[in-house]
Chains A and B, each alone.
Chain A
């Protein structure tokens, strides 16, 4: 009884010398982790999300079409082949009559079927047309500046190479897809850039200043989010003057897509700012006399840049789909511009699609890209909070 009383009164201190460096030895792995920067840890976390990593690689491959479309595509997208209207896809073979030839396609012979008034194409097994790689083929203007003839792959001399068939004017579908990636894939990026700027601006004002500005912007966001997006996109793009050049129409469409898509981002920015503003380091900066712009950009913004990137990635697919829908409905881009939606425009009539199903080919890259962006965004969102 008296013993326990004693220990309670006198504070026990171990007399042995204490060396914190020796006592708390970190394994090399822990050390590496604790010394790594925030972005490095995010990268590690992102890497462990295999699906997101592969999605990122797939997207990079797709985006290679943007700068190198002319080289990858065997034809230019608006080149008409009057001999090959609605030609079916030519599959690539390796063996001809049991003998290895290397990648080649069979030629096509065509004749008019007078009963249904359409061209009927038959594979001509005697015509072996080996593909040529890294070759000189149809001339094009690289980025509209330099004339060149270099292609990754070309049809045999005098032969054809319609990997995904041709459309009503004999335009090659595969080349169309490659060129279409240029517009379809960048529409999302430019649109999201616009949405980020607007979202940061409105969300920043609402989250940082609060009060009347906050409730006004909150109301605006609520209203914008309660509106069905697509009909408004349709109305806005119908308002673009017909006389505009394709480049202007393209920018008009991206601005329209970005204009209506910022509320989600603004909301994320606002809520993140509201919570970060209360952190000690932010209050310390304010007490030391930092101006709002400095507090926001130097102290608060780095705290949620990763979140912004993640939620921006997740909103790219809806913009790609928006452009596709608008062009499909004839309200967005038009020939001579080529995007996946413009190509799908040919597939609007179901009776045509039933006879020439390859016109639906653009559906496949669209689904792959949208899926990949969703997985990538999920992975980024998980990695955005690396310390969790």
Chain B
């Protein structure tokens, strides 16, 4: 098992490098950079002293170097103006827009981002599992049709529109504002039980909004997988032997259908994380989503680059966890390398 974990983590390293390069490339795509744009603006208004200061800043952040050097300095594999001082050394970069280190800008938003995504994955699991089993074992019943219909609606409604619609109806019917992280009166208060409950209450709607499409997809897959298994001959044999229906289901077909269920959630994680970014913007949640949007709009490259990398990391770690779960569940996978070698 340990060997499998180590092997799995080592294969992540080259992936991370490719991803970080890709992200750096995308972030640097717009012509110019934050400071040179400011310089251009100042030049046109003729402020020479400010221009000199900004030129100094450009050199300070190594923005005057060639592309590959800039990338390596950002990662921390090349000596920049301050020696080796990049992501690998724990320096997340500087946010020009906020004039603060990136760490200070998005540090407070990171825990909520992780919590929100974790809660969504849990939600998807907890909701789709029983419904999927129900739909498969009671195929073509009214309940099955109902869930299938709901699932289609869930798949077709884009999450940010769902968020918008829910915002509207909650406001209309209950006079509740479900946006934001907590009720406004708790904003300035210290931590208390009420504040915590308010935060939890505000997390429910975004979790549902982000998780609906994923849940619908998972229900469909679990139902299909389980149906495949239920028509196998070993199920008939078990039934002929007089096994209780519930014991039969839990002991054999469900275990077989569980594997694709867990590996599929790994494939869902990227879209869940995508959803959390845009839903946070719509529902005004203090996650990395809104910060990313403003950073992209103002071309605050180190900030947006780091957020993109963080979001990619989040999906990679999520997929790692789902792979490890799968390995715990299925010995064929964790011993796979040995059996063939």
Contact = CB atoms under 8 A, between A and B. Distances in A.
B219 interface: no
A117 B193 CA distance: 40
B172 A231 contact: no
B139 to A, nearest CB: 17
A367 B157 CA distance: 6
A229 B157 CA distance: 17
Given A226-B315, A226-B316, A235 B304 contact: yes
Secondary structure call for the B interface:
helix
Contacts of B153: 367, 371
B160 interface: yes
27 contacts: A225-B270, A226-B270, A226-B315, A228-B271, A229-B271, A230-B277, A230-B278, A231-B307, A231-B311, A232-B308, A234-B277, A238-B296, A238-B304, A239-B26, A239-B30, A321-B158, A324-B161, A325-B158, A329-B293, A331-B296, A347-B164, A348-B282, A353-B168, A354-B171, A363-B165, A366-B161, A367-B153
Secondary structure call for the A interface:
helix
Given A241-B31, A363-B165, A235 B278 contact: no
Interface string A365-378: 01100110011000
A226 B273 CA distance: 11
A174 B164 CA distance: 20
Interface in B211-265: none
Nearest to B312: A227
Interface string B150-168: 0011011110110011011
Nearest to A233: B274
Contacts of A357: 168, 172
A223 interface: yes
Interface string A65-107: 0000000000000000000000000000000000000000000
Contacts of A363: 161, 164-165
A331 B271 CA distance: 19
B297 interface: yes
Given A236-B26, A367-B157, A230 B274 contact: yes
Contacts of B18: 223
A330 interface: yes
Nearest to A317: B156
A153 B270 CA distance: 45
A236 B22 CA distance: 11
B15 interface: yes
B180 to A, nearest CB: 11
B19 A227 contact: yes
A228 B30 contact: no
B312 A239 contact: no
Nearest to B27: A235
Given A234-B293, A360-B165, 13 more contacts: A223-B18, A226-B270, A226-B316, A228-B315, A231-B311, A234-B292, A234-B296, A235-B296, A325-B278, A329-B281, A353-B168, A354-B171, A370-B156
Interface string B67-99: 000000000000000000000000000000000
Given A227-B312, A360-B164, A360-B165, A350 B31 contact: no
Contact of A231 (B22, B31, B157, B292): B292
Interface string B295-336: 011010000100110011001100100000000000000000
Interface string B12-30: 0001001100110011011
B277 A228 contact: yes
B311 A223 contact: no
B38 interface: no
A328 interface: yes
B267 interface: yes
Contacts of B275: 230
B274 A366 contact: no
Interface residues of A, number: 39
B156 A367 contact: yes
A366 B271 CA distance: 19
Contacts of B274: 228-231
A151 B211 CA distance: 44
B168 A354 contact: yes
B168 A360 contact: yes
Contacts of B164: 344, 347, 350, 353, 360, 363
B182 to A, nearest CB: 17
B307 to A, nearest CB: 8
A238 B168 contact: no
A10 to B, nearest CB: 40
A324 B282 CA distance: 13
A227 B270 contact: yes
Contacts of B282: 348
A329 B297 CA distance: 10
The 3 tightest CB contacts between A and B, nearest first, are A230-B274, A239-B29, A238-B296
A369 to B, nearest CB: 9
Interface in B10-69: 15, 18-19, 22-23, 26-27, 29-31
B148 to A, nearest CB: 11
Given A228-B274, A230-B277, A238 B160 contact: no
A230 B158 CA distance: 12
Interface in A243-297: none
B152 A371 contact: yes
B179 interface: yes
A371 B168 contact: no
Interface string A201-240: 0000000000000000000001101111111101110110
A374 B311 contact: no
Contacts of B158: 321, 324-325, 366, 370
A325 B161 CA distance: 9
Contacts of A331: 293, 296-297
B315 A227 contact: yes
A376 to B, nearest CB: 12
B337 to A, nearest CB: 16
A82 B330 CA distance: 67
